[in-house]
Structure 1
């Protein structure tokens, strides 16, 4: 039986984390068993413990990777107030609402993350603080008031998407998104 080198093991781990990120956002933490997560990565259950100590270990890493991907997207595409406004509009769009697996991990998983262990919540906190710091920097302001303002706007964005996803009345769901855009732009003073 051949042993794989360190690089192959790291690539496999990365493949598991990426597949898990999409699946967790689509089906939730509780709705995604280890066997499903591993199958999505093209692997068997038996390979899981060669890479992770527990499902929570994978969840923490996958959510952190998803938030870092989102932060990198913000870093690459949100450099001024106009681009920040477009980010808000894209986030609070029917496309984002309707494609959970491709969207924000906070909007997909926040309710479950609050019930995770300290390690997962600490990893999530660090990644969110980085994202919010980037958004605050775009506003050109520094300090606790800006942090609170940006945090409030992000929380409103998450809640708005979650509510819109939960409604079966498409007209109402779209109106919720539109009002969310107006409210977030107001909080961020982008109108």
Structure 2
């Protein structure tokens, strides 16, 4: 029997997490069985329990990983308010809408996360709060906590806008919803900015 080192096990675990994140966003939590998730990672079902206690454990870990990657993506935009505008426009773009497996875990999985066990909900909450706090620090650099609730509201607006746009069969209407969502989000942010 071949024994692998800690680095190999960690790399394998990370591959499972990343491939599971993409599959979960594309097919949903309920639509992604352990066998499919492991096959995506190029592994057998038997290897699953060497890395995770349960599917719920993998879901919580994958969602946390996806939101961490989203925080990194948001951090890649310009600093300050200019970056917030760029984030809103990129988030509410046809490209993001049309590629859910590469996009926001919240927009793809929110309804299902709401039905998950408390540890998954807590992992999601912690990750979303960190993401929102990053944006709040851009919006109100001298008092980020003062902007947290407003940013959460704008993030919720953006998630719902993206979900609605994805659900519409009429492509022009779906694009119009995204454009209106950008205007709505920026209007709320303008009203929330210090000095408004």
The alignment's TM-score, normalised by the length of structure 1, stands at 0.96
**Alignment match, 1:119:** 119
**Alignment match, 2:92:** 92
- 1:107-128 per-residue CA deviation (whole Å, 9 max, x = no partner) reads 0000000000011111111110
Partner Cα separation in structure 2 for residue 72 and residue 158 of structure 1 = 18
**Alignment match, 2:153:** 152
- 1:11-62 per-residue CA deviation (whole Å, 9 max, x = no partner) reads 1000000000100001100010101100110101110011101000000000
Cα pair 1:19 1:37 within 8 Å, conserved: yes
- 1:50-104 per-residue CA deviation (whole Å, 9 max, x = no partner) reads 1101000000000000000111122232412112101100100111100000000
Cα pair 1:78 1:87 within 8 Å, conserved: no
- 1:103-153 per-residue CA deviation (whole Å, 9 max, x = no partner) reads 000000000000000111111111100000000011125255411110000
Partner Cα separation in structure 1 for residue 73 and residue 165 of structure 2 = 23
**Alignment match, 1:132:** 132
Matches within 5 A, 1:167-182: 167-182=168-183
**Alignment match, 1:7:** 7
The alignment's TM-score, normalised by the length of structure 2, stands at 0.94
- SS of 1:77 mapped into structure 2: coil
Partner Cα separation in structure 1 for residue 157 and residue 150 of structure 2 = 11
Shifted more, 37-46 versus 68-77: the winner is 68-77
Residue 164 of structure 1, CA deviation: 0.5
Cα pair 1:57 1:120 within 8 Å, conserved: yes
Cα pair 1:107 1:158 within 8 Å, conserved: yes
Count residues in correspondence.
191
RMSD: 1.4
